[in-house]
Amino acid sequence: MSLINDDLQNLLISYCEPESELLQKIDRETNLKVLMPRMLSGHYQGRVLSMLSKMIAPKRILEIGTFTGYATLCLAEGLTNDGIIYTLDINAELEDMVRANFERSAYQDKIKYILGDATKTIDTLNEVFDIVFIDADKKNNGTYYDLIFERVRQGGIIIVDNVLWSGKVLQDKQDKDTQNITNFNDKIAADERVEQLILPVRDGLFIIRKK
């Protein structure tokens, strides 16, 4: 899923903050025990998410798509003392692993882990968010974006993962999944309520700032 070769990726990692022991453990366990481990954010993207969070110092974060909790913990690093991150996921099979990962972290009291269909659980949250990270089923990127937009403060950011789709967005003839990604990217580019850019990190991170 990375858009750059392994040698350059290793160089980038060598110049960023190292992974904590817990993040290393989550990475290792995910690759050993979970289907589709490539969905994990991983070291470099995790440090990007951490840096963005620390720069904004958010009081409230919403993550749509927990997976095994790696990105959740990276985003939590920037929370204010009274900050909370809500993380939504539909996969109950990973619940025990995810809760154990959170309980081992320094942020366990700041994490609200909610299982269920995010299109429904979002409506239960009476919050205004500084950061939203969308990393769930890609066909619903636009749906999630529309659901959360009014819940993001002015100047807040929305981050969307996998928007380059392993480079398939460059293809003239696109399969259905790739077309969904392209349609979402075009939707954001045409949205005059935001400023936006794509970072070529791992599989593409769309950074969207609400005006």
User: Per residue in 52-80, pLDDT tens?
Assistant: 999 999 999 999 999 999 999 999 999 99
Residue pLDDT, tens place only, 97-128: 999 999 999 999 999 999 999 999 999 999 99
User: What is the β-pairing status of strands 60-64 and 129-134?
Assistant: parallel
The predicted structure's pLDDT at residue 135: 97
Please give the helix or strand (H or E) that residue 10 lies within, else none.
Answer: helix 6-14
Length of the chain in terms of residues written:
211
Task: Name the pLDDT band for 4 (thresholds 50, 70, 90).
Answer: confident
Phi, psi of 74 (to 5 degrees): -65, -45
Strands (E), the chain: 60-64, 84-89, 111-115, 129-134, 152-161, 194-199, 205-210
pLDDT range class, residue 1, cuts 50, 70, 90: low
Rounded to two decimals, what is the model's pTM? Answer: 0.96
Average pLDDT, the chain: 96
Report d(CA 159, CA 175) in Å as an integer.
Answer: 24
For residues 75 and 131, give the distance between their C-alpha atoms in angstroms, rounded to a whole number. Answer: 9
Please report, rounded to a whole number, the percentage of residues in the chain having pLDDT higher than 90: 96
Q: Distance (Å, rounded) from C-alpha 129 to C-alpha 132?
A: 7
pLDDT in tens, 42-53: 999 999 999 999
